[in-house]
Amino acid sequence: MRGIQQNIDKFASAGIQPIAISVDPPETSRELAERHGFTFPILSDPTLETISKYDLVHENAVEEGVSVARPAEFLIDSSGTIRWLNLTENYWLRANPADMLEKARALP
């Protein structure tokens, strides 16, 4: 998310509105955004409703009985169609913001 924030102007110039979705409660996401200076929305989905719709639930990932979202990045167009997707099982491996911008610019 830091890479997204560092490139927020480039995303805006490309017509991209970054949005994060987390299982954390709103207060936790707000504190995270404030602590790191994130200016894009971080939505809260503690019931995994939206996360489930994108098939991103990582069952029992933190401890037994606690599920979180799998790391993923999407480019979704204004009609809601997923145009590009990056999934990983490793929380520390994320799409490079420059690669995301390149993929976005290549879309028709």
The pLDDT tens digits for 38-85 are: 999 999 999 989 989 988 888 776 666 777 778 888 888 888 888 888
- Assign residue 92 the CATH number of its domain: 3.40.30.10
| 34/22 Cα distance (integer angstroms) | 15
Residue 42 lies in a domain: yes
Total domain count, the chain: 1
pTM here is 0.78
| 17/53 Cα distance (integer angstroms) | 20
Residue 93 lies in a domain: yes
| 54/102 Cα distance (integer angstroms) | 23
Residue 91 lies in a domain: yes
Residue 7 lies in a domain: yes
Helix (H, G, I), strand (E, B) or coil at 49: helix
Residue 107 lies in a domain: no
Range(s) of the domain holding residue 24: 2-101
Residue 16: DSSP 8-state = -
Q: In this structure, what token pair is assigned to residue 19?
A: 């949005």
